[in-house]
Chains A and B, each alone.
Chain A
Amino acid sequence: MSIELIGLRMREGEVVLETTDGTALVVRDEVGRVVEGTGEGEWRGELPEGMYTIEAQGLRPANLHSVATRGDDVHFLKTVATEDGLYLRHLVTRTPHVRATAMTITEDAVGHLELRLTLDDETMKKVQGATQKGTLRIRLSDVGSGRWNQLRMINVSGDTLTFSSKAAIERFRTGNWQIHLYDARRPAVYDVVALDGFDCRAEGLGQHAGFVPYRAVSPFATIRLLEPIDWSGQCLEASWNGSYLTQRVALAPSFPLDSVLYLAWRHNRSGYEVPVEWQSDGDGLVVGVDWGAVTQWKGGAWTLFVVTAEHAGPIRDARLSSGKMAQAVANRDKEILRSFYVTRGLRDECQLQMSDNAVSGEVERVFVKPYGVNVRGWSRIKTAGELIGFEMHAKIDGEKRKIPLKGEIERRGDACRYDLSITPADLALFAQHEFRWSLRAVYQLGDLELPLPLRHTTGGTNLAQVHVYPEMIIGTEAIEPFFSGLDLWLKQSPAGKVWLRDLDTSGGERRITVSCHRLEAKGRLALIGAEDETLLALDPVESDGTDMTFVLTEATLAEHFADKPVQAKVAFVKEQGGVERFYPVFAEQADVFKPYATFMRGMIGKGHQRYSTYVVQKTGQLMFEARPLNAFERRSPRLLNRAARLCALALKPLYKKPVWLIGENLGEVAQDNGLAFFEYALGREEAKVFYVSHADNKNQANLDPYMRDVLRYDSFSHLFWYHMATKLVVAHGIRDVSPSVLHRSMRLNRKPVIYLQHGIIAMKRLFFNRNSYNGKIEKFIVSSEQERDIMVREMNFRPEQIGITGLARFDKLKDASREKRPRQIMIMPTWREWLQNDRKAFVESDFYQHYIGLLKDPRLHETLVAHDIKIKFFPHFEIQKKYMDLFEQLHPNIDIVDLSQETIGQLMAESTLLITDYSSVAFDFNYMKKPVIFYQFDLADYQSRRGAYVNLRTELFGSTAATTSELVERTIEAIENDFRYEPSDVEKSTRYYSHQDKDNAKRIYEMIMELEQSGGKKR
């Protein structure tokens, strides 16, 4: 029978050792005397400072530690398992309150980081009567990557301190403390950090024995002092079977069995993850990866990560030896072969290197003749396989097509020489105008047939420019071999060409004359839409064998295109070989048609809808477009604008107050930060504010009380006040407040823009350009320092461009959930845009399966009834549109939200718990200090398709669940805890909001006023 040590702590001055059978433990001191202990189910006793051994029959050793404070004393306890037994060390240190005035972090040549705190005089006096300034040094070793330049130290008993490299430290107390470490530059990278020693050695400070042996982990979550995990293993071998890669990693048995493993590829901002299956088999771990299921096949290093209940980080092994021969892994769907080998990263991480060099070869000769194309060369793959044939692939008319090709194969060592031909018989006619064939060598790999591209890897990299082949007319087709990257392709297009000869306008009619080259001049002129559908076809009015003339009249066009905007290519259509093919009309020399170069110039028609045939100057292609005129194309908006400008010019010197125009989403809504800020600003006197809105605003009800200060979009007063405005305050973009007539010239904008934002940038990868609107974003509003750092680091904003005030709409968040009965839980999933548009795929999707599983779970139903709680399920608008019938009849306590009856604001105010996956609604909810559960069943997928800026696994507040049953459990837990908001969440939230109050709009207002008074920033 074995006993396991499961807990170690200090309680009321006594050391407590928890085991599975506490009575059997024997604790001896350094000289071998037994220390008496009491307790049932545990060992309790007084252990002064020192080293002890712990013995028991069948004791399974464990590395544990704990830290406890008693007054000014700090007790450090640690067990260390060695070959000759289990040791326990108890260390006591007495550290005063210290005050530091500066902090630096330096990295030495070996990659050890050292954190130095310069202590001030007062502190120095307290510390052993020292009189000079000293430094406190903490060595942070084993940092994986990045520079750690923001450190937060928190005392678990309640005091929180934050300091960064710029700020000074307020108070610093050693004790039961937790460490948060951020890599301010790359938050997507997290790592195992070992804090080796807390060494107060410095001038004047004397020797402070504050040794804390522990391993801190996952710097992006609360780092708890945990047992160190000992990775010592060897990657022994990797084998593959088609697309499944298995690898053996021998690791120490203390590897927790409920861990999750995954492979992650990280490069700058993006990250992709692949789940890894693993099992332990005595010798170690066998790790398997199904690369066939992977969507991202990035080349480079994939690091093996492990996540346990309290730990997340890469698996490290300093004794890992780098790869033996590369193995290859194939993805049948993507028709890719990649080679892999095991390697050790810069910091000893266990990595698989994936590279794209599994296929190599040389295209030695390509002969292009009227009777066909002949290709000769050799090909080799980096794994066992047999070249068995050839194919060419293309995507034509929306379908993938494959045509087998004839060729000879000759094996020479591990390479195969090939000689293949493409004859006219292989080239069928298709309706699609032009397409590309990818030439493939089909390999037999085990039981997998993989068509791999014909590649030329012995030349340079710009083969497309250097290995150029002629176009040959083979039958009715023009064939041209070309290189794309390193792979050989064939371009097929109709042999004929149609040139634009003349464009003429007379009496509201457009005459188009074309001439056919290598093509019989019998056919029609057609307007071809984006999906290659024929929108209109005309017969010629004149034809003389090679040239044909067609006429477009306003009447004909009005018949077909009067109601909505249309863009089409103008093409010549002709039936060939049973298929109707079209030949886009091009002008041989585009500048001949300069008088028809733009929509306006090529326009006919006088009604609301205008029609135009124009020649795109860059390509010479003749295009057709039908649409009404834009504001900047019409005369009257321009005149109105000019008048407004003149008025503003005249009146500006007389109007002293700052003028701010506020808006959201192109003036179509009023529900977000724009409205919230507007409402606050109306209550202040210092600036004149207007809200800009279209007449048919979706939230007109919200604006009704303020109509005196609302400008109608594009009205004269809008134009006038726009030119008078000193600042533009927008939620989505500058076009929220700028008049349509100026939309085209926003790159010349001179007005400073304050960007209020409409979400929290953390969960979703978004991108802003700091130079938008002619570089005039004066302030970009964010809610936290973390957000600011993301903006500065990832999107190159200047720190002065960011205002950390909090979002205006947070002021309006009202919590009405406490009084509401029955209490309600809100479930709000995000839409995954990659889910197919077809019903079958949706029903089979992970998304649907998980949510329906949750909503139908009987345990959940029981709990809801037992506690009298309702669930409000709020699916995304897209789901509501198409798939609502799939969510009917779930349970009397489960309601589907009807958007016309309830608003999201109402729901958030009334709910006591929010269950969501990646929606930024979570941040609003959490702001009200209400619990959130994140349902992350497809995290790896989300990471790879969308990505986020924070570690969704460990950095969010609330709790996370990866499976339905986990989610049900967490929900039940929350219900049974009376929806308590955890104190740890308070702490975690501070990362996301610098302020949690109702003064956000006020701060924004005052910040903008300050900018006004200081004259704004000169670029």
Chain B
Amino acid sequence: MKVTFLAYNIYGVGGTVRTIVNTANELVKNGHDVEIISVKRTSPRPTFALDRSVKLRPLLDARKGKLYHAGMKAPVKWVKRFLLKRRSVLIDKTEDLYPLFSLFTDIQLYRVLKRLKTDVFVTTIPSFNLLSAKWVDPKIKRIGQEHSQFNVHSQELQAKMRQAYPKLDAMMLLSEEEMAAYAAEFGERLRLYRVENATEMPDVRSTLDKKVILSAGRISHEKGFDRLIEAFDLIKDDYPDWQLHIYGDGEEKPALRELIFERECYNQVFLHPKTNALPRKMQDASIYALASRYESFGMVLIEAMALGVPCVSFDIKGPAAIITHETDGLLAPEGDIEAFAAQLRRLIESDELRHRLAEGAVRRSRDYSTEVIGQKWETLLHEVAPQAFKKKR
């Protein structure tokens, strides 16, 4: 059957993009027709390897030189420039990505949603879910996705969701807690499915013999890299050969740099620009550390675990659902930096612990393999759109 996704920017990088790419690839493998509508386009081809048969429909080509092509007449250019500068009205102001939308993308979204022809339409952020409920042809099976708790959203948004979500044919959630919260809110009016994010299972493993602690992500307050540096700083002098490498860019990077200088750990802590080849770097690491203050899922943990790298994280929702303490990773009480440092120390000192946890990690990661998650998708699609499901390629 034909499945269409709506994503913000499938050409970029990030957890959501990776998830959609993995899902799309898996659906293609299972014989479905996949199309992805991408609000923005920032490169000629998607960064993550997307199956070539997936059709891509960008709504705004934001690449250098592509916004206004040379043949465009001046009035058209002015109109486009005006629209691009105006803030969006359709997207909720509390969305993370709100500033990146505009009146121009609003118009494009309206046009594409109103004319949409497909079997199943999947939307990935609350604003998209709402628009899908409002404008997409009811004959199309509309599936929404949520990556956060219901009550994390603003009151206004919650009200809109209460009103609109029951119009959707199904809602996909990531964890048990979310399932419970949504069930409490919507009861029977909204079909709920728990489908985690999937990851490719690599066939290589880390040798766990390089003295490297790795961490990666967008450098923002919620990802908590400052806590990680403070934790490492507590133990760095005992292990002068060990290094902490952080990959990523973000608005907090200069502050992080200042912290490194302040703690004088610049010979052991290194900040790298964001990389598209994180799995390669993970292979050369012995420990993966996640010090986020808030994490809706923790995709990166599964990627590290799939490569046989034991993870240390604070005990917060998301990672806690993935890691079982002492079996496939280590957790420290949220906010307790010394405890986090202590867990790092344990892994540094004991080869045996590292290897044991690595084994557990690999086993656990299989629960999130594309095959397992792909099956969940098949179930979901079969139940939601039984007619169309039969029309397999």
A470 touches B267 (CB 8 A): no
Neighbouring B residues of A466 by C-beta, 8 Å: 270-272
Instruction: Please determine whether B261 and A470 come into contact, CB atoms closer than 8 angstroms.
Output: yes
In the complex, chain A residues whose CB is within 8 Å of the CB of B78: none
Contact A465 B273 (CB under 8 A): yes
Distance, CA A467 to CA B272, complexed state (A): 9
Taking a contact as CB atoms closer than 8 A, the residue among B266, B270, B272, B273 that contacts A470 in the complex is: B266
Distance, CA A467 to CA B267, complexed state (A): 8
Interface residues of B in 244-267 (CB under 8 A from A): 257, 261, 266-267
CA distance A462 to B275 in the complex (A): 12
Query: B223 → chain A, closest Cβ, in Å?
Result: 19
A558 within 8 Å of B (CB atoms): no
Provide the residues of chain B in CB contact with A462, threshold 8 Å: 272-273
Closest to B262 in A: A470
- 0 or 1 for each of A429-468: is its CB under 8 Å from B? (1 = yes): 0000000000000000000000000000000001001111
Partner among B257, B267, B270 whose Cβ is within 8 Å of the Cβ of A365: B267
A residues less than 8 Å from B261 (CB atoms): 470
Quick one: which of B257, B267, B272, B273 has the most chain A CB within 10 A?
B267
B273 lies within 8 A of A468 (CB): no
Minimal Cβ-Cβ distance residue in B for A365: B267
Tell me how far the C-beta of A775 lies from the nearest C-beta in chain B, rounded to whole angstroms.
Answer: 9
The distance in angstroms between the C-alpha atoms of A466 and B247, with both chains bound, is 10
Residues A706-764 near B (CB distance < 8 A):
none
Q: Which residues of chain A come closer than 8 Å to B257, judged between CB atoms?
A: 468
For the complex, what is the distance from the CA of A421 to the CA of B340, rounded to whole Å? 36
| 8 Å CB contact of B272 from A364, A367, A465, A469 | A465
Contact of B271 among A364, A366, A468, A469 (CB under 8 A): A468
**Nearest CB on A from B325, distance (A):** 33
Closest to A364 in B: B267
Quick one: which of B266, B271, B273 has the most chain A CB within 10 A?
B266
Give bound CA distance, A364 to B257, whole Å. Answer: 19
When C-beta atoms are compared, the residue in chain B nearest to A459 turns out to be: B270
B267 contacts A366, CB within 8 Å? Answer: yes
State A954–B81 Cα separation when bound (angstroms): 58
Whether A469 pairs with B266 at a CB distance below 8 angstroms is yes
Per the 8 Å Cβ criterion, residues 44-93 of B in contact with A are none
* CB nearest to B271 among chain A residues: A466
Shortest distance in angstroms between B236's beta carbon and chain A's nearest beta carbon? 12
- Nearest-CB distance from B250 to chain A (Å)? 15
Bound complex: CA of A365 vs CA of B270, how far in Å?
Answer: 13
A365: B residues at CB distance < 8 A: 267
In which size bucket is the chain A interface? 10 to 19
CA gap between A465 and B261 in the complex, in Å: 15
B168 CB, nearest partner CB in chain A, Å: 45
Bound: A467/B271 CA distance, A: 8
Contacts of A367 in B (CB 8 A): 267
Of A364, A465, A468, the residue contacting B266 (CB under 8 A) is: A468
Closest to B261 in A: A470
Within 8 A of B (CB), among A467-511: 467-470
Minimal beta-carbon separation of A974 from chain B (angstroms): 56
Give A466 to B248 CA distance when docked, in angstroms.
Answer: 12
Give the CA-CA distance A956 to B144 in the complex, in Å: 73
Bound CA span A332–B295, Å: 57
CA distance A462 to B266 in the complex (A): 16
Rounded to whole angstroms, the CA-CA distance of A365 and B240 in the bound complex is 10
Provide the bound-state CA to CA distance between A674 and B272, in Å: 56
Considering only residues 344-383 of chain A, those with a C-beta below 8 Å from chain B are: 364-367
| Complexed CA–CA distance, A467 and B266 (Å) | 8
A364 to B261, CA, bound (A): 17
Q: How far apart are the CA atoms of A366 and B261 in the complex, in Å?
A: 12
Q: Which residue of A lies closest to B272 (CB)?
A: A466
List chain A residues, Cβ under 8 A from B266: 366, 468-470
The proximity string for B residues 267-301 relative to A, scoring 1 for CB distances below 8 Å and 0 otherwise, is: 10011110000000000000000000000000000
Cα separation A367 to B267 with both chains bound (whole Å): 8
**Nearest-Cβ distance from residue B327 to partner chain A, whole angstroms:** 34
Tell me the minimal C-beta distance from B238 to chain A in angstroms.
16
Residues on A with C-beta less than 8 A from B272 are 462, 465-466
**A288 to chain B: closest CB distance in Å?**
45
In the assembly, what is the distance between CA of A467 and CA of B270, in Å? 7
A contact residues around B267 at 8 Å (CB): 364-367
Would you give the shortest CB distance from B230 to chain A, in whole angstroms? 17
A478–chain B nearest beta-carbon distance, Å: 13
Question: In the complex, A921 Cα to B180 Cα: how many Å?
Answer: 87
Nearest CB in chain B: distance from A385 CB, A: 28
In the bound complex, residues from chain A placing their C-beta under 8 Å from that of B273 are: 462, 465
| A364 to B270 Cα, complex, angstroms | 13
**Residues of chain A in range 66-99 having any CB-CB distance to chain B below 8 Å:** none
8 Å CB interface, A514-563 against B: none
Give B240's nearest chain A residue, CB to CB.
Answer: A365
CA distance A469 to B270 in the complex (A): 10
Shortest CB-to-CB span from B255 to chain A, Å, is 14
Q: How far is the CA of A364 from the CA of B273 in the complex (A)?
A: 21
Nearest Cβ on chain B to A777's Cβ, whole angstroms: 16
CA distance A469 to B261 in the complex (A): 7
Cα separation A468 to B260 with both chains bound (whole Å): 10
Q: Which residue of B lies closest to A463 (CB)?
A: B270
* In the complex, residue of chain A having the shortest beta-carbon distance to the beta carbon of B258: A470
Tell me the minimal C-beta distance from A364 to chain B in angstroms: 8
Which residues on the B side are within 8 Å of A467 (C-beta)? 270
Report the minimal beta-carbon distance from A773 to chain B, rounded to whole angstroms.
14
CB distance from B80 to the nearest CB of A (A): 19
Give Cα A367 to B270, complex, Å.
15
Q: How far is the CB of A1001 from chain B (nearest CB, A)?
A: 34
- Measured between C-beta atoms, what is the minimum distance from A746 to chain B in Å? 15
Nearest opposing residue in chain A for B241, CB measure: A364
Binary contact readout A88-132 vs B (1 if CB under 8 angstroms, 0 otherwise): 000000000000000000000000000000000000000000000
Complexed CA–CA distance, A466 and B272 (Å): 5
Tell me which residues across on chain B come within 8 A of A366, comparing CB atoms.
Answer: 266-267
Give B247 Cβ to nearest chain A Cβ, in Å: 10
Which residue of B has the minimal Cβ distance to A481?
Answer: B266
CB neighbours of A468 from chain B (8 A): 257, 266, 271
CB distance from A791 to the nearest CB of B (A): 23
> Smallest distance from the beta carbon of B276 to chain A beta carbons, Å?
14
- Give the Cβ gap from B354 to chain A, nearest Cβ, in Å: 23
A363, closest chain B residue (CB): B267
Q: How far is the CA of A365 from the CA of B273 in the complex (A)?
A: 22
* Chain B residues whose CB sits within 8 angstroms of the CB of A364 once the complex forms: 267
- Distance in angstroms between the alpha carbons of A437 and B266 in the assembled complex: 21
Complex: how many Å from CA A364 to CA B267? Answer: 7
B265 → chain A closest CB, angstroms: 11
Bound complex: CA A469 to CA B272 (Å) = 14
Residue of A nearest to B270 (CB): A466
Given the complex of chains A and B, what is the CA–CA distance between A469 and B267 in angstroms? Answer: 8
State the CA gap A364–B240 with chains docked (Å). 10
In the complex, what residues of B have CB within 8 A of residue A470's CB?
Answer: 261, 266
Residues of A within 8 A of B270 (CB): 466-467
Closest Cβ of chain A to B252, distance in Å, is 16
The distance in angstroms between the C-alpha atoms of A365 and B272, with both chains bound, is 18
CA distance A723 to B266 in the complex (A): 62
Q: What chain A residues lie within 8 Å of B271 (beta carbons)?
A: 466, 468
Q: B160 to nearest A CB, angstroms?
A: 37
A146 to B207, CA, bound (A): 44
B267 to chain A: closest residue by CB? A365
Report chain B residues within 8 Å CB of A469: 266
User: Nearest Cβ in chain B — how far from A456, in angstroms?
Assistant: 12
Closest B residue to A472 by beta carbon equals B261
Query: Given A466-B271, A469-B266, list of 4 further CB < 8 A pairs?
Result: A365-B267, A366-B266, A367-B267, A465-B272
12 contacts between A and B (CB under 8 A): A365-B267, A366-B266, A366-B267, A462-B273, A465-B272, A465-B273, A466-B270, A466-B272, A467-B270, A468-B257, A468-B266, A470-B261
> B residues touching A (Cβ–Cβ < 8 Å)?
257, 261, 266-267, 270-273
For the complex of A and B, the 7 pairs showing the least CB-CB separation, nearest first, are A470-B261, A365-B267, A466-B270, A466-B272, A469-B266, A465-B273, A366-B267
